[in-house]
Each structure stands twice: as structure tokens, then as C-alpha cells.
Structure 1
């Protein structure tokens, strides 16, 4: 049974049988923008959304960032599937365009926070994208076991006018990993600014 979290909800990542969660994925699926020209024909404008992951220590210092320019964390715990520059050009294919995986068993013990953020690289307003959904789930890029959070950033009014957001933060308390489903747009334009916002407001 999937846990569909509301924004701001926090959950433990210990399963009912007492086992600890080992691996999670953040999948992002979005579409290119359809534009009609003067004579009624339609063209597609590519949309480049970038999922990224920032790793912090207990003192809230950034130790590593995984993004399209750095696909694997230093400890090999976080891996990025690679940069998708266009989105789905022919309608929603139902597949994630970018996937970031996190293996808790490989994570450097000094890491206390793992934050996932999203930025629109070319500045496309989230509200102009025909569809854009995010899911944070237990499993692998090819197998979804349990969904922790889903966000529809194309059709929720509060995302219109924004080009960046904080998806969620995994955080460690007394040796246990927990998850905060944030799902909030920010006023930032670039990845560095979004990470700074996470540091100030969401850890």
C-alpha cells in the first residue's frame, strides 16, 4: 500500500517488519511545451528540467552535490540517470525522464541530510509545462515498490511563476532515517541558490 504524503508530512523509513529502507528513487517526468504558430500548425519547445541532490553533514554544510554535471556522489550512494534536455516530445510516455537513486547502506556516515531539488534550466515557468510529475519511492528505476510522495507541479497553482522547488529532505535522527515531503516552490533561479534556500529553511 503506497504512502501518498501530503506536503509537510514526515514519515519514518522503518518498515512494519522492522527492516530499514535500503534504496529510494526520485523520478521526474515532464513534457515539452506545445506551441501554435500563426498558421495553426503546432511545434514543440524542449523543456530542460534538472533534478539534483545535495548532501549535508550535521552542521548543515554541503559535502556533495549530485546533478547533471556530477552524476555520482563521492561515496557512490547517490546516482543520477543523466541529463534530459527536452522532456517527452510526443506526449506523456509514462516513464521518468530523470531518476536519482539513493542507497542508504552506502551513504557516508557523516551525512545527516539528503535534499532533492528541481530547477528549470532554461527558465521555463513550471506553470507553462503541459505535465510535470515527481514521485519519491522505494525501489529501483525499473521497479516501484512503495511511493512516499507525489507532486504534480504543472497543475498545482502555487507552482506557476516559479522555476525551482524543493522536493523533499531525508534526515537522520538518532541513527534513523526519516523523510520530510516538502514540495514547495522557491524564488530561486539557479541550483546554487536553491541549495542555499534548503540550508536556510528546510534542514
Structure 2
């Protein structure tokens, strides 16, 4: 598999040895915003609440389920969310993902044809104001990264400045095989529901 896909690239999830990739994680790591206090006496930290979410669609591009901080797993537990992180790393980058969504392709309902991942800034904090915010989509589990195949740096890529939502990527089923489309594009949306609607209209 290709590592660090560029935006718009598509790959098959079949591994080089012919085996099919089963478990994929989408991990988000970000930091709290550092603010200078009055008169430069000290610095304060402003909590940052980014939310990773996942929408499942059928072949007709109808939303079946949305997994997010208020609904931490799909009905059959094939998709799981690690839980809501409302602050980000306050003490600097610890290198660990603050939120992780895990998907087990073998456990997905047969009528699921698209799995879309989106990111929203819950309090409307501009991606460009966050000191660091990275996304990685990888084979493995939350505690074991086997191979990373897409990475985005939304805090330092100018395209994300001025935005509070984005589409990370879409897994889609074609001829019974799962493939991945690395999207990595900001949207003009403010809320999760709006972002899901944008995915439905433009990215499936």
C-alpha cells in the first residue's frame, strides 16, 4: 500500500500479499491554543474541542448511521469511537491520538457501501489557530499502528485556515472490494450535520 497518500488519491485495501485489510483507524492528535496573558506576565491555555465523526451510507447514498461523540459505536459495534476529548493536549504534543475511530470492515453490515470520516471544530475554533493538529488514517488498532496510508496536517496547511470543518476521506465498496479515497479538504460547514450533508452531495 502507498504511504501518505496525496489528496484525491484512491487505493485498494488489498494488501501486497493478497490479504484484505480488516481493521482501520482514523486518529486525531491536537493541542490546546496558547494565549498570552495581559502584560505578557504568563501564558494561558484555551481548550480545543475537535470532533472526529463517521457516517455510514448504503449504495443509494442514504445515511444509515453517524458515529460521533454522542453515539460512540455503530449498532453492531463494527465502528467504534474512543470518546470525546474536549481540551486537546494542554502540555504540548504527547504524540498520542486524542480521538480514534476504529472500523472493522469484516463486521460491517452488508448494506454499507460508503464510510466517510469528517472533522469538526465543536466551538468554532479556526483550524489555523490551533498550534498542532494532525490526522492519520492507518491499518492497525488504537494501540498498534501497522501502516499509515494517509496523513494531514490541518494546523499548518494554509488551505485549512479560516475553516472549522473538513472531510478526511471516504472508504467505498466497489465490486465487493473496499477502497479508499483520500480527500483531505476543508468545507464551509459549521456543524456535523452540515458536513455530513456536504459529503452526501459532493464526495460519494
Same-fold status (TM-score > 0.5):
yes
Instruction: Tell me the distance in 1 between the aligned counterparts of 2:190 and 2:97.
Output: 23
TM superposition shift of 1:44: 0.1
TM superposition shift of 1:4: 1.1
1:14 corresponds to: 14
1:62 corresponds to: 63
Instruction: Tell me the distance in 1 between the aligned counterparts of 2:76 and 2:116.
Output: 16
1:174 aligns with 2:175: yes
TM superposition shift of 1:189: 0.2
1:35 corresponds to: 35
Question: What's the CA shift string for 1:172-192, capped at 9, x where partnerless?
Answer: 000000000000000000000
1:44 corresponds to: 45
TM-score under structure 2 length normalisation: 0.98
Secondary structure of the residue that 2:113 maps to in structure 1? strand
In the TM superposition, 1:35-184 aligns within 5 A as 35-40=35-40, 41-184=42-185
Question: What's the CA shift string for 1:1-29, capped at 9, x where partnerless?
Answer: 86110000000000111101100000000
Instruction: Tell me the distance in 2 between the aligned counterparts of 1:61 and 1:164.
Output: 21
Runs of 4+ with >4 A deviation: none
* Length, aligned pairs only: 203
RMSD between aligned residues: 0.8
TM-score under structure 1 length normalisation: 0.99
Instruction: Tell me the distance in 2 between the aligned counterparts of 1:89 and 1:162.
Output: 22
Instruction: Tell me the distance in 2 between the aligned counterparts of 1:136 and 1:2.
Output: 12
Structure 1, gaps ≥5 residues long: none
